Amino acid sequence: MNIGKAAVLAAAIASLAIAVNASAQTIKVGVITTYSGPGAAQGDQLDKGFKLYLKLNADKLPAGVKVEPVFRDDTGANPDAARRLAQELIVRDKVQFLTGVVWTPNAAAIAPLTAEAKVPFVIANAAGVTIPLASPYVARVSFTLWQASYPLGQWAAKKFKRAYTVVSDFAPGHEAEEGFIKGFKEGGGQIIGSARVPMTATDFIPYMQRVKDAKPDVLFAFNPAGKQATAQMKAYADLGMQKTGIKYVGPGDITTDEELQNMGDAALGVLTVHHYSAAATRPANKAFVAAYKKEYGEKLNPGFMAVGAWDAMDLIFQLIRDQKGKIEPDKTMELVKKYKTANSPRGQIVIDPETRDVMQNEYLREVRKVGGALANVEIETVGTLIKDPWKVFNKKK
């Protein structure tokens, strides 16, 4: 082969490569969630939310752009493994976005990495309040515990005098506790006791017995949703605490929609403040729930984590559309700060440009029977587009 021919061939190959590149561009999205261990139920919610969104919205990308999710199992609250998975997704799979993450410790371990690698990281669940401060490439569409617990504390102080708190012993639990106590005390309430339960606990009877003996008017609880929410509700029922007049309240994690049917009638009358209920009657939510049930079965309700995953993917799709498939990390983070939608299943959400954390409505809900099944019925909107209160109180001056 002479040089001329070789040059022509090389040019042909090069142009072919360019043509292929232009017509099919694949954007890899690293998804870290939990498929094994005691936290698999929560991870499953994220997985279902992501997959549903990807299935229904594949046509909403610019022509020739495809999103390829790369799923990884972090096996639970396992920060060093999660960090290594994220590192591998960045280095080996060359993902352009990271998302998922059920557990706060895992997200906290991943966050510093995103600053070094300049990979935008959209948190779909992990709620630890300080995570977005750890890296300018972190945004969060889920929630913080302060968002629900602080307004709940204020509201509860109007009805009750003496409260007991029982929370999971990790950062989100501590934040739920602090948020509620601050709101409750500001409203003139009194905290008569606080207990912290190990994250991996499955038996809540010892803690709940202590609450029962202390005879508060109201019990504020937080657990990381999933099976633990059911276990704690069962302990509340088994000890007959409802009959002794102790009202059970908390953020929506304690009556999470996907577990609610397993909790039984003990859950009736439980009051929660949260951003999402599967029973909400907004059109966007009705469509979401219908699509979810069609995909995964009539009996299955989506929980707030599935919604977090859905909205995380919606944000990523929006960012891809805005940049027509050419992702630049810094531009992406500027665009993140402009994200707002009225069509999330939970209503309107906005990313706060200052903190890259989500702003959303919080609803007061009561567990009632609707058509023979338990549901978190929204009875009042306690706040519209609430900013994370912790960041408001702790603003750097």
Partner 1 sequence: MTHSGGYVADPRFRAIEWLPWLLALLCFFVAPSYLPLGSYVLTMIIFALSLDLVVGYAGIITLGHSAYFGAGAYIAGIFAARVSTEPLTGLAISTVGAGLLGLLTGVVILRTRGLALLMLTLAITSLCLEFANKATGWTGGADGLGGFAIQPILGLFKFDLFGKTAYLYCLVFLFASWWLVRRMVYSPFGASLTGIRENDVRMNAVGAPVYMRLVVSYTISAALAGLAGALLTQTTQYVGLKVLGFELSGELLVMLILGGIGRIYGAFVGPLVYLLAQDYLAKQFPEYWYFGIGMILVLVVMFVRGGILGIVDAGIAKWRGASA
Cβ partners under 8 Å of residue 392, min gap 6: none
Pick from 54, 57, 65, 84 the residue near partner 1 by CB under 8 A: 84
Task: Give whichever of 108 and 279 is closer to partner 1, judged by the CB atom.
Answer: 108
Please list every residue from 171 through 200 that binds partner 1, using CB under 8 A: 171, 198-199
CB nearer to partner 1: pick between 91 and 392? 91
Sorted by sequence, the CB contacts under 8 Å of residue 176 that are 6+ apart come out as 145, 146, 148, 149, 167, 220, 222, 250, 251
Pairing of strands 340-344, 162-168: unpaired
- Type and span of the H or E element at 348: strand 347-351
Complex with partner 1: residue 167 or 278, whichever CB lies closer: 167
Q: What stretch of H or E contains 88?
A: helix 79-91
With respect to partner 1, which residue has the nearer C-beta, 87 or 348? 87
Positions 34 through 53 that interact with partner 1 (CB under 8 A)? 35-36, 47
Query: What residue type is assigned to position 307 of the chain?
Result: V
The answer to whether residue 113 forms part of the interface with partner 1 (CB under 8 A) is yes
Q: In whole angstroms, how close is the CB of 222 to partner 1 at the nearest point?
A: 14
CA geometry: angle 204, 207, 213, nearest 5 deg: 130
Cβ atoms 351, 161 nearer than 8 A = no
For residues 166 and 349, which CB has a smaller minimum distance to partner 1 in the complex? 166
Of the candidates 25, 42, 45, 78, which one interacts with partner 1 according to CB under 8 A?
78
Our finding on whether 378 is near partner 1 (CB under 8 A) is no
Q: Residue 128, interface with partner 1 (CB under 8 A)?
A: yes
> Which residues lie across from 122 on neighbouring strands?
99, 139
Considering the complex, state which of residue 72 and residue 247 has its C-beta at the smaller distance from partner 1: 72
What are the CA-CA distances from residue 327 to residues 31, 64, 286, 323 (Å)?
17, 14, 33, 6
Residue 87 engages partner 1 in binding (rule: CB under 8 A)? yes
Contact 266, 235 (CB under 8 A): no
Two tokens, residue 186? 């500001």
Closest separation in Å from C-beta 18 to partner 1? 25
Binding of residue 77 to partner 1 (CB under 8 A)? yes
Q: Which stretch binds partner 1 (CB under 8 A): 9-17, 82-90, 148-156, 365-373?
A: 82-90
Element (H, E) at 237: helix 226-238
Q: Is 295 in the site for partner 1 (CB under 8 A)?
A: no
Is 394 one of the binding residues for partner 1 (CB under 8 A)? no
Instruction: Identify the burial level of 344 via C-beta atoms within 10 angstroms of its C-beta, where 0-12 means exposed, 13-18 middle and 19 or more buried.
Output: buried
Nearest distance in Å: CB 32, partner 1:
10
Nearer to partner 1, 90 or 374 (CB): 90
Q: Between residues 168 and 277, which has the closer beta carbon with respect to partner 1?
A: 168
Q: How far is the CB of 80 from partner 1 (least distance, A)?
A: 4
100 binds partner 1 (CB under 8 A): no
Contact between 206 and partner 1 (CB under 8 A)?
A: no
The alpha carbon of residue 23 and the mean position of all alpha carbons in its chain are separated, in whole angstroms, by 35
According to CB under 8 A, which one of 7, 10, 91, 287 is a site residue for partner 1? Answer: 91
Write down the least CB distance from residue 89 to partner 1, Å.
10
3-state class percentages of the chain: helix first, strand second, coil last, to nearest 5: 45, 25, 30
Asked if 352 interacts with partner 1 (CB under 8 A), we say no
- Least distance from C-beta 153 to partner 1, angstroms? 23
SS3 374: strand
Q: Single out the residue of 5, 92, 158, 396 in contact with partner 1 (rule: CB under 8 A).
A: 92
Helix 104-117 vs helix 171-186: angle between axes, to the nearest 10 degrees? 110
Q: Which of 42, 99, 104, 256 binds partner 1 (CB under 8 A)?
A: 104
**192 backbone dihedrals φ, ψ, rounded to 5°:** -100, -10
Got the DSSP string for 106-153? HHHHHHHHHHHHT--EEESS---TTGGGG-TTEEE-S--HHHHHHHHH
Q: Which residues bind partner 1 (CB under 8 A)?
A: 35-36, 47, 71-73, 77-81, 83-84, 87-88, 90-92, 104-105, 108-109, 112-113, 116-117, 128, 134, 169-171, 198-199
